[in-house]
Amino acid sequence: MSVGAQQSNALDPESFKAIAELAYQESGLTLAQEKSSMIQSRLRHRLRDLGLPNFAAYSSLLQSDRGHEERRHLISALTTNVSHFFREKHHYDTLTEELVKRLPALREGGQMRIWSAGCSNGQEALSAAIALLEASPEIATLNLKILGTDIDPAVVQFARAGIYPERLMGGVPKPLIDKYFTEATPDGSERSFAAKPVLTQMIQFNELNLLARWPMSKRFDIIFCRNVVIYFDLQTQTKLWPRMKDALAPDGILFLGHSERIADPASFGFDCTGPTTYRPRVG
Ligand SMILES: C[S@@+](CC[C@H](N)C(=O)[O-])C[C@H]1O[C@@H](n2cnc3c(N)ncnc32)[C@H](O)[C@@H]1O
């Protein structure tokens, strides 16, 4: 490729600004100028697939009425979807302690609802299901449901398929792989594992933008919203906390990621009750 051609494919400052503003409005993602070259490399394939000559043309498309579908591809390309099974294990310990407390009510016909908000490829929701089944296999017959949601349609599709290449299975001990997954290696592909129905029947995966309206009517007993708000600025986080509190049952729990905090939790009606663990204030 000539130097001229390379330059025309570079993300110019004006297009960066337009793309960053759009990403912020659509999803709350904040893109720092220092990340410009990373964003350029994440979006180059979109220019190629669309046959566009440069980022100025791409940014015009995004801002046009025809740009709706491409804005979904943009968010998909810009989100960071890294996740792991049993990430931050202490939250799963708290989760199973809560299950034990709630088991008598569940046996009486009560329900328990868990939300993995920003679920990525689904490892968080599956980890919750495995932890709960390990604590009490009878929950498979009780009214316990897990909802996984994400803004990125690609990861939601992946999570629904429930098939994980071996490289994504780190964190799941071999006995649990044998118990909860079946080998499902497509011809000629990397060794892969499919989640068994005992897991998938507990979980539903849907697309949901945390900045948009939430259609769920029932409150959640546990919300995992981990390693999501780290990409949001304080203003977006500040708008999210009251909504999370409203979505939680009065005795519910909100888990955040290890580097995330609610600044001044009391002002949002939360108490911090453990590492990155929050409960609605009583009274
Ligand atoms: C780093 S992953 C975290 C996955 C998982 N919660 C964990 O901790 O392992 C962050 C996820 O948040 C999602 N996300 C980012 N902005 C979002 C928004 N506005 N609404 C919903 N999901 C969003 C991304 O698509 C991505 O899959």
Is the pLDDT reported for residue 275 higher than 60? Answer: yes
- Per DSSP, the chain holds a count of helices (H) and strands (E) of 11, 10
Q: Measuring CA to CA, how many Å separate 265 from each of 35, 53, 256, 268, 273?
A: 30, 48, 12, 5, 11
pTM of the model: 0.95
For 179-221, the pLDDT digits (tens) are: 999 999 877 789 999 999 999 999 999 999 999 999 999 999 9
CB 155 near ligand 1, within 6 Å: yes
Q: What percent of the chain has pLDDT over 70?
A: 97
Q: How confident is the model at residue 87 (pLDDT cuts 50, 70, 90)?
A: very high
Q: Which two tokens stand for residue 46?
A: 């979109």
Tell me what the mean pLDDT of segment 112-134 comes to. 98
Specify the pLDDT at position 5: 42
Ligand 1 centre and the CA of 118: distance in Å?
A: 4
Specify the pLDDT at position 129: 98
Specify the pLDDT at position 265: 97
Specify the pLDDT at position 189: 85
In this structure, which residue's CA is closest to atom 9 in ligand 1?
Answer: 83
Query: Residue ranges per domain, the chain?
Result: 3-78, 89-280
Specify the pLDDT at position 9: 79
Task: Please tell me if the domain spanning 3-78 has the same topology as the one spanning 89-280.
Answer: no
Q: Which atom of ligand 1 is nearest to the CA of 210?
A: 20
Q: How confident is the model at residue 258 (pLDDT cuts 50, 70, 90)?
A: very high
Q: How many residues does the chain have?
A: 283
Q: Which fold has domain 89-280?
A: Rossmann fold (3.40.50)
CB 280 near ligand 1, within 6 Å: no
Specify the pLDDT at position 2: 41
CATH of domain 3-78: 1.10.155.10
Q: What percent of the chain has pLDDT over 90?
A: 94
For 35-69, the pLDDT digits (tens) are: 999 999 999 999 999 999 999 999 999 999 999 99
DSSP 117-173: ET-TTTHHHHHHHHHHHHH-GGGGGSEEEEEEEES-HHHHHHHHHTEEEGGG-TTS-
Is the pLDDT reported for residue 250 higher than 50? Answer: yes
Check residue 252 and report its DSSP letter: E
Q: Nearest-CA neighbor of 89 among 59, 51, 130?
A: 130
In this structure, which residue's CA is closest to atom 19 in ligand 1?
Answer: 27
Clarify whether 264 is annotated catalytic: no
Q: Which of 42, 44, 72, 219 is catalytic?
A: 42
Tell me what the mean pLDDT of segment 166-174 comes to. 96
What's the mean per-residue pLDDT of the chain?
A: 95
Specify the pLDDT at position 8: 61
